Chain A
Amino acid sequence: MESSAVTLEKNKKLPRSSSLWRQIARRFLQNKMSLIGLAFLIFIILFSFIGPFFSPYVNLGVDPTNINQSPSAQHWLGTDKLGRDVLTRLMLAGRISLLVGLGAMVMSVVIGGVLGIISGFYRGIVDQIIMRIADVLMTLPGLPLLFIMAAILSEWKVPTEYRIYIVMLMLSIVGWPGLARLVRSQILSLSERQFMQATEALGLRDTRKLFKHLLPNIIPLLIVSGTLSVGGAILSESTLSFFGLGVVPPDASWGNMITSANSLLDFQKRPWLWVPPGLAIFLTVISINLLGDGLRDAIDPNMRRR
């Protein structure tokens, strides 16, 4: 936020010279695939958050007289076994899936960023402790870990409306270690750079070194890894919800929409129940990855995914 303010000011006064952020924008706009990804994401966001206002079925809910209808002029994507409009549910589910993905990302970035910075900057024993915890979390495979946590939490009978926050939290527990490691290694390599030695020679206090010198340098990394992690979070949420361990009905998520099509009959004869949410997950995750890759290439052409 700091740096964008600086950029604005600079663009006013030095119109000819291209600032760092301008170069980034230019490189980004040259990348067709990531623009396609961005376009689809904007579409899916509008679809999920604005779409329901145009649907006549939002408040209707269950309609026993109208179950398992195939797509028609009234119900473009048909209805499910409780008679709900699939298109409307797809929109409402999108809200939750996107929010969970975004929320999990923000939490992972905050936790991973803060712990990574602390590790890399202060080193020593603090670093050891944080990194060993991260190691443990990273050696445990992600999905089984999520399943175990989810199963334990299901026992606690969390009210369904809080359920999505719990899911975000779980996803960020799995997500932060990778980010913390990336941030830490970036901080370590930045600390070796001469300008950090210069800050020491200038007698700057740690807070200034951290927030003015190190943080702006890792913001690109945070943006890119954050973006990419949203895709992973949406995927994990869908998986958990598919197995009934994530977002649970009556709240809809793309994952638990697919669950409701779990009989062979539904699978074979009623593809409108599971194809739309499946496609939504697939395309959203792909788009996020395209966007993330594009951002990475634009921000730092030398930064390659490890």
Chain B
Amino acid sequence: MGNTVLDVKNLLTQYYTNGGVIKAVDDVSFSIPKGQTVCLVGESGCGKSAVAMSIMGLIDGGSGGIKNGEILFEGKDLLKLKKHELRQLRGNDISMIFQEPMTSLNPVLTIGGQIMEPLMEHELISKKEAKKRALELIELVGIGRAEEIFNSYPHQLSGGMLQRIMIAIALACSPNLLIADEPTTALDVTIQAQILDLLRSLKEQRDMSMLLITHDLGVVAEVADYVIVMYAGKVIEEGPVVELFKNPKHPYTKGLLKAKPVINQRQEELYTIAGQVPNLATLTPSCYFSERCEQCMAICKEQMPKINDLDNGQRVACWLYEEVTTV
């Protein structure tokens, strides 16, 4: 237990939509060891954000809810905590960075005021002390002119700078776990690389654990220790980053890796996985990927494959690999 920061067990999160109740996160289990970066990848709509929101307790009761499972953070089940206990953890021991830095900051408050907030809330320090810490944090995330930035408003800064500010806010109380939901998607490519570098080096410095959500396999290759691939609300493959990239097992993961453009290696045509993500409201017991799978078999249409351990630490949910463990 001492080595695991976050342990998610059998998480089931539903959303109520016009088309019916959907399982945005369906029986998902994974854990994040201390000091490691776990990447959650998958196509748009597969439930990555839903996982993050479930951990943070941000699923709005009107539109959905967590129906089953445990989310153990340092041994405590977040789902069983009282409201004020959860509040004391959030922004303090667990922080989150959102996809859109432009909309994640309050437009009418100064940058400095917003960095000071979690400090004053959780560390109960004076305004003066908080300001000093905020200025240090602005320096820490690689922006100069800290005084000037402190007093400016969000609309005066660029997207890249705002995302640095978001990182400063998230790190203000030195969390043990940082959840970053597509932190670079809204930024242009050169800035993306800088932000990733920043996140990676801060993570190293502070011995933090990180859950990084992305659909960019380039990002995964750069920062991940461990990769979890999601499809239609389920984990279909996971493993240490080197093994998974070298030797992907699930046809979907193989497709994803083939679809990734490789620099200096021009392919005739970019590979794409044919077909679309299934409608989550009308799923039947089957392999959810079967519609698009080139190796689909009869059983795939009738029964859902379970996730199984392979010898090298990888786990995969696909009928192709069932006999490896059963026979």
| Residues in A lying within 8 Å of B, measured CB to CB | 3, 6, 9-10, 13-14, 17, 19-20, 193-195, 197-205, 208, 212-213, 216-217
B124 cross-chain contacts in A, Cβ below 8 A: none
Q: If A212-B109, A216-B109, A217-B106 touch, does A13 touch B148 (CB 8 Å cutoff)? A: yes
A17 with B91: CB separation less than 8 A? no
**Measured CA separation A199–B56 after assembly (Å):** 12
Which residues in chain B, 87-117, are within 8 Å of chain A measured between CB atoms?
87-92, 95-96, 98, 100, 103-110, 113, 117
User: Within the complex, what minimum Cβ distance (angstroms) separates A128 from chain B?
Assistant: 14
Partner of B98, one of A10, A14, A197, A212: A197
| CB <8 Å contact, A10 and B121 | no
Partner of B156, one of A17, A197, A208: A17
Residue of A nearest to B153 (CB): A20
CB pair B89–A203 under 8 Å, yes or no, is yes
Instruction: Evaluate contact between A20 and B108: CB separation under 8 angstroms.
Output: yes
Q: Top 4 closest A-B pairs, CB basis?
A: A202-B91, A203-B90, A203-B91, A194-B103
CB neighbours (8 Å) of B89 from chain A are 203
Interface size range of chain B in the complex: 20 to 34
Closest approach, in angstroms, between the C-beta of B132 and any C-beta of chain A? 17
- Other A-B pairs, 17, CB within 8 Å; known A17-B156, A202-B95: A9-B151, A20-B108, A194-B100, A195-B104, A195-B105, A197-B98, A197-B104, A199-B106, A200-B90, A201-B98, A202-B117, A203-B91, A203-B118, A204-B91, A212-B113, A216-B108, A217-B108
Q: Is A203 a contact partner of B88 (Cβ separation < 8 A)? A: yes
A131 to B152 Cα, complex, angstroms: 38
Q: Which of B29-45 contact A (CB under 8 A)?
A: none
- 8 CB contacts below 8 A, A to B, read A195-B106, A200-B58, A201-B56, A201-B90, A202-B90, A204-B121, A205-B121, A208-B121
Q: Which residue of A lies closest to B172 (CB)?
A: A202
Query: What's the Cα separation between A20 and B152 when bound, in Å?
Result: 10
A125–chain B nearest beta-carbon distance, Å:
14
Q: How far is the CB of A99 from chain B (nearest CB, A)?
A: 32
Q: Which residues of B contact A212 (CB under 8 A)?
A: 109, 113, 117
